[in-house]
Chain A
Amino acid sequence: MTDTRYLAPQTLDEAVSAFAAAQGAARILAGGTDLLVQMRAGIARPGLIVDIKKIGEMNRITENADGSFTIGAAVSAAALADHPRFGKVWPGVLEAVNLIGSKQVQGRASPGGNLCNGSPAGDSVPAMVAAGAVVTVQGPNGRRQMPVEAFPAGPGKTNLAPGEILVSFTLPARPAGSGDAYLRMIPRTEMDIAVVGCGVSLTMKDGVCTAARVGLGAVAPTVMLVEDAAKALIGSRLEPAAIEAAAAACRAACRPINDKRGTIAYRTKVAGVLLKRTVAIAAERASRS
């Protein structure tokens, strides 16, 4: 591993050319909370490490004029928590991001890395899916955008083309009466990997749900958007029957694995329970926004 090179470019173009030129031998370094562990374990032996934290666009949180937010791929969880406005507009996304590891890990770990790591159980991803985040990626052939739910391709795999780098997330403007929330089930109180994670974003008008998105994590090979759950909520007054229908849609969407953290039956049941609890929190926040 002595032949590892380190590069900290100031521009995205420079990062993209170096990353693409290395033809798969390079790894992107943002917070490094996954990469350094993999290097230490010998799982990753990058010939080149491209540190993206000196690139302005990658490190910035911007509240745009239209009310949307753009979050650079290298922005740490701690920096996002410190932002004076982000957590007020997207409390659910922030609470999901703040569940990733300890305070020490949050000092470095980024939602961008959480997404690129491709874990089905990444905490920030279901909340970003619920938020309707769109990601911008850049590669040798230029820039493109995709909905965040289209980014993961399987455990540890993404739909980034060779040489492409995640640049930023854009979260849409929030209409009045909107709220989001994220809950995860873990066997401990802190510092564990989700058995199920559920993100919900709602918009309410005169007591009726006019928009909803539901993201589920840790119950399928990728984090996913559960459109049937959203359909059950939209148009309803969030009455018990509508919420039960949304919970049933979540259970139906589950394709989980059995492992030491939870069985297929348990994860499936909990997906429905979490949907109900998360909707309740999101609705309460919507009523105050």
Chain B
Amino acid sequence: MSKMHVSTTINGEPMEFLCDAHDSMLDALRGPLGLTGAKEGCGTGDCGACSITVDGRLVCACLMLAVESEGKSLGTIEGMSQGGELHPLQRKFLEMAALQCGICTPGVLIAAKSLLEKNPNPTETEVRFGLAGNLCRCTGYDKIVRAVLETAAEMRGAA
């Protein structure tokens, strides 16, 4: 069977790629699109390492078919810094050492950004529930949660 042609928008840029009908969006990102920031942890939607946004909605790229991205607007970790400037979440994660091995970090950052866009002033509980779909085996989560709360406070102050 011949490959399917897909036109989509990723981090604001129009992109095209070829895929098989059964390829996941994660396969397409990490393969033909060369965007390897989204990681494959479990491949079953449990770990959140492949978190991206699709038309503003947080999803696991491993649970979406690549062909479904036709005409959609996707956001990945590669689009999080703007003009060489780290997003406040990225900066705070570095400052507060909210990562160790880094495999989960792109997914955590995308999920945290999505959370703060919906709720700029979350409680600790809301952060923990909001990030429950992102597994991290290094940090014990505490540093991640504190970095997200600190970033939220900083972003509210700047707004």
Contacts and interface: CB of A to CB of B under 8 A. Distances in A.
B59 interface: yes
Contact of A105 (B20, B21, B45): B45
Interface residues of B, number: 32
A104 B21 contact: no
A33 B45 contact: yes
A36 B62 contact: yes
B68 interface: yes
A39 B22 contact: yes
Contacts of A3: 1
A48 to B, nearest CB: 9
A49 B4 CA distance: 14
Interface in B123-151: 129-130, 132-134
Interface size class of A (residues with CB under 8 A): 20 to 34
B65 A103 contact: no
A238 to B, nearest CB: 30
B133 to A, nearest CB: 2
Given A4-B21, A32-B64, A40 B44 contact: yes
A205 B20 CA distance: 58
A103 B114 contact: yes
A103 B115 contact: yes
B64 A4 contact: no
B20 A104 contact: no
A206 interface: no
A62 to B, nearest CB: 20
A78 interface: yes
A37 B51 contact: no
A65 interface: no
Interface string B78-114: 0000000000000000000000000000000001001
Contacts of A53: 68
Contacts of A8: 67-68, 70
B45 A101 contact: yes
A223 B40 CA distance: 34
A53 B72 CA distance: 13
B129 A190 contact: yes
A141 interface: no
Nearest to A79: B57
Interface in A1-55: 1-6, 8, 29, 31-33, 36-37, 39-40, 49, 51, 53
A49 B24 CA distance: 13
Nearest to A1: B22
A49 B20 contact: no
Given A4-B1, A103-B58, A191-B132, 14 more contacts: A2-B20, A4-B22, A8-B67, A29-B68, A31-B63, A36-B45, A49-B21, A101-B45, A101-B133, A103-B133, A104-B45, A104-B60, A107-B58, A108-B60
The 4 nearest A-B residue pairs measured at CB: A102-B133, A6-B21, A107-B59, A190-B132
8 contacts: A8-B67, A37-B45, A102-B134, A103-B114, A103-B115, A105-B133, A108-B59, A191-B133
Interface of A: 1-6, 8, 29, 31-33, 36-37, 39-40, 49, 51, 53, 76, 78, 101-105, 107-108, 190-191
Interface of B: 1, 4, 20-22, 24, 43-46, 48, 51, 54, 57-60, 62-65, 67-68, 70, 111, 114-115, 129-130, 132-134
